[in-house]
Structure 1
């Protein structure tokens, strides 16, 4: 009986560990999003995290006849990436991100975590052109 309890306990801990890793540390998807950085702030009560919003070009309509702005909400863990984003509010950015299955309080309030700023450009002018900006 004692051996059965030890084996069952070990299997339970192993299954819970695998589930925790899959839920919070497994990178579900990776990608790139582009748009204008609208909001970027460091906030939190216990864990101070960087949170941001980027408005993407175009409109997305979840139902016919309705228009909705296409907004990308994200978190940032790396202080160097956060410093670049703080200096470039309102500019057109291309961001590389990772998507997780769940959120952790010390990683931010979004399942999308930005890992790199790929490109920065001034916002589009009246003729639609953009100018590259030095980081």
Structure 2
């Protein structure tokens, strides 16, 4: 697994208020279906864990998505836009809502709801962690 992906997975876990670290693994729940997910201390996805860009990367820079992207700092890899999801939920979202684009009212509604869930689960990193 690429080190950049590991860093993003760890960032998603560290900033998830539901995530718990036991010294060896991060444990949390899928942003979509709340299935149990695990991540190694090094950032390796275990089982069905995958990285979710809550607001799809392809939506950034599109005027129809500005209301959503502005909530995550206009960067697709901003920690507020990263979450852990099970692979089946993440891939289903990619085939359905992400592909429809922000101009589709149903896709916009679903991504808005997911973003609200992610922001409700937000946990800021301690100052020492942000410097890394």
Tell me the TM-score range normalised by the shorter chain: under 0.3
Query: Which one has a larger percent helix, Structure 1 or Structure 2?
Result: 2
With structure 1 as the length reference, what TM-score do the two structures score?
0.27
Between structure 1 and structure 2, the one with the greater Rg is: 1
Query: Which one has a larger percent strand, Structure 1 or Structure 2?
Result: 1
